[in-house]
Chains A and B, each alone.
Chain A
Amino acid sequence: DVKVTQSSRYLVKRTGEKVFLECVQDMDHENMFWYRQDPGLGLRLIYFSYDVKMKEKGDIPEGYSVSREKKERFSLILESASTNQTSMYLCASSPSPGELFFGEGSRLTVL
């Protein structure tokens, strides 16, 4: 079975803290994605990666960075968390056009 694992389901952080969200896939997919999900806005693409050490900006990259040192792992980093980054964060990997396999999500609250 396909598996995308996000390290934390729920996190609470303070404004200004550095936040790491980890995502691991066990399917040997080259493509991985980070989305944020907000009510009424659907999913918005933050960053994606085609391969190890490669990254591309999505629609809302401001305030975020990513790291892909190994094929199976794609990390999202919030250098200095702000309250407007309170959201659900979804990681996905993809074997073929548009077919995304999602993790269960990480709900981040920034106080």
Chain B
Amino acid sequence: AQSVTQLDSQVPVFEEAPVELRCNYSSSVSVYLFWYVQYPNQGLQLLLKYLSGSTLVKGINGFEAEFNKSQTSFHLRKPSVHISDTAEYFCAVGPYDKVIFGPGTSLSVIP
């Protein structure tokens, strides 16, 4: 069985500061890993994905994530956040047919 843990339910950070949103997963098979973002009153959109290859993955809006197989982690980072990054962020894991989502981390960027 697969599962996803997001260690922080809420992360406040000042504008232009760096941020890291943590994600750990468990799986008995090879995994695909994803980060999705949900802006207020909107559906989710894909931020970035890891399927294979380089463990450092770059996504939209300046975000990146690093796959660490030994630590079963896929943490999301951004070196300098903007007010517009305020949103809910979901880590997800899966094979093709069943993408499992974590509970989400609410990122609040403080001016």
Contacts and interface: CB of A to CB of B under 8 A. Distances in A.
A74 B45 CA distance: 19
Given A43-B101, A103-B43, A104-B43, A98 B49 contact: yes
Interface of B: 4, 9, 32, 34, 36, 41-46, 49, 51, 90, 92, 94-104
Interface string A38-75: 00111111001010000010110000000000000000
A105 B97 contact: no
DSSP majority for the A interface?
A: strand
A5 to B, nearest CB: 10
B99 A42 contact: no
Q: Which of B34, B46, B51, B101 has the most CB of A within 10 A?
A: B101
Nearest to B45: A102
Nearest to B99: A98
A41 to B, nearest CB: 6
Given A45-B100, A97-B94, 17 more contacts: A42-B90, A42-B101, A42-B104, A43-B44, A43-B90, A44-B101, A45-B98, A48-B97, A48-B98, A50-B97, A92-B43, A97-B51, A98-B51, A98-B96, A102-B43, A102-B44, A104-B43
